Amino acid sequence: MERKYLFIVNKTAGSGRAGTTWPTLAEYLNQKNIDYLIYETNYPGHEYQLIQNLLKNNTVEGRTIVVVGGDGTLHQTLNGLHDAPQHEMIPLGYIPCGSGNDFARGAKIAKNPLKALKNLLQAKKVTTLDVGFYRNTLQQQADDGSFTNNIGIGFDATIVDLSNSSRLKKFLNKYHLGSLVYVIILFKAYFVQPPFPVTITTENETHSFKRAFLVTTTNHPFFGGGVSIVPTASMTDGKLDLVLIEKLPAFPFLLLFILMLLPPHLHTKFSCVKQFRAEKLTISSPTKQHIQADGEALGAHPVELSLSIEKQDFIF
């Protein structure tokens, strides 16, 4: 039986790349007489609401949901799916059109959107992968959700916060130059983010650190648009990988960052970089910290994050 599809398209993803790519994908779908519906997102977080409504009125029934956008679009869609009572492991497809595309790297989905679509249409089986689950219990109203890539407090979350509020980014986005501003934000975040105390607990151990700077838990090797933060992380091992980097002076931090970017990724050998691999983790800090998940801002507050693994079916 021919598969049917429901496309969630964020045309603004990748500084508009998804919008310019969609007509090519639609043309291919029409050529191949594929049965599909398309829903475009109109504002940040719209994917979440869309999915919830489409599930409620049974529009999704019998269709594979395919996300066209970046990691944030996938994140919002996955969370819309998970927060609906009847999600029942509906498989997700993903066509990478964002600026970072870390999930596509981690899951080895073709970078070229048309190639990724062709592979998806030909896929014979679903692939079950780990996704992370977080619960922040320190907030008045406990906040929870899923992440495909990573969840972080400290430096990376400050970068997300600064880039969301950056007027320069919004201006450059109009000219498809949004990613240029990331370099400026990276430098700014280094000076804005102070060191903070944090306690990490796994099934077997508890460790406290006084001067954490970046605390990121990842589901696969990549974060921040291709930075191989934990080269050995896997989306099928049922485990999460936490990396903690302590605050360093600017020059050593820059060197460490360069090591992170370049193979063989020797940053993990330094004593200021701590690693934990576990099925369950908690991260607590009494200080107010920005939190990011898959590049989406989750606000700023004291942290008591419980992390675990769930499974999600994908088609690609």
Ligand X SMILES: Nc1ncnc2c1ncn2[C@@H]1O[C@H](COP(=O)(O)OP(=O)(O)OP(=O)(O)O)[C@@H](O)[C@H]1O
191 and 74 Cβ atoms separated by less than 8 Å: no
Whole-angstrom distance, CA of residue 170 vs CA of residue 177: 9
Which of 14/154 has CB closer to ligand X?
A: 14
* Contacting ligand X within 100-129 (CB under 6 A): 100
Residues 253 to 292 in contact with ligand X, rule: CB under 6 A: none
Choose which of 69, 93, 132, 224 interacts with ligand X (CB under 6 A): 69
Nearest CB to ligand X, comparing residues 72 and 198: 72
List b or e across 81-94, with b for residues whose CB sees 16 or more CB atoms inside 10 angstroms: bbebeebeebbbbb
Question: According to CB under 6 A, which one of 5, 29, 41, 153 is a site residue for ligand X?
Answer: 41
The CB-of-53 to ligand X minimum distance in angstroms stands at: 15
Beta bridge partners of 303: 285
List the one residue from 3, 46, 176, 280 that touches ligand X (CB under 6 A): 46
Which of 47, 102, 156, 161 binds ligand X (CB under 6 A)? It is 47
The single-letter code of the amino acid at 215 is: V
Do strands 296-315 and 92-96 pair parallel, antiparallel, or not at all (unpaired)?
parallel
> From the list 19, 93, 113, 178, which residue makes contact with ligand X (rule: CB under 6 A)?
178
3-state SS of 232-276 is CCCCCCCCEEEEEEECCCHHHHHHHHHHHHCCCCHHHHCCCEEEE
Give whole-number Cα distances, 168 to 13, 155, 192, 295, in Å. 17, 20, 18, 18
Q: What distance lies between CA 51 and its chain's CA centroid?
A: 18
Q: Does 148 bind ligand X (CB under 6 A)?
A: no
Q: Which of 91, 98, 152, 154 binds ligand X (CB under 6 A)?
A: 98
Nearest to 3 by CA among 75, 62, 77, 52: 62
Interface pick for ligand X out of 7, 8, 12, 222 (rule CB under 6 A): 12
Nearer to ligand X, 46 or 280 (CB): 46
Listed ranges 10-18, 139-147, 250-258, 260-268: which one lies at the site for ligand X (CB under 6 A): 10-18
Nearest approach in angstroms of CB 44 to ligand X is 4
Question: Is residue 152 at the binding interface for ligand X, with CB under 6 A as the rule?
Answer: no
Alpha-carbon distance of 46 to 39, in angstroms, equals: 10
Least distance in angstroms from the C-beta of 42 to ligand X: 5
User: How many residues are present in the chain?
Assistant: 316
Identify which of residues 45 and 252 has a Cβ nearer to ligand X in the complex.
Answer: 45
Binding site for ligand X (CB under 6 A): 10, 12-14, 41-47, 69-73, 76, 98-100, 178, 295-296
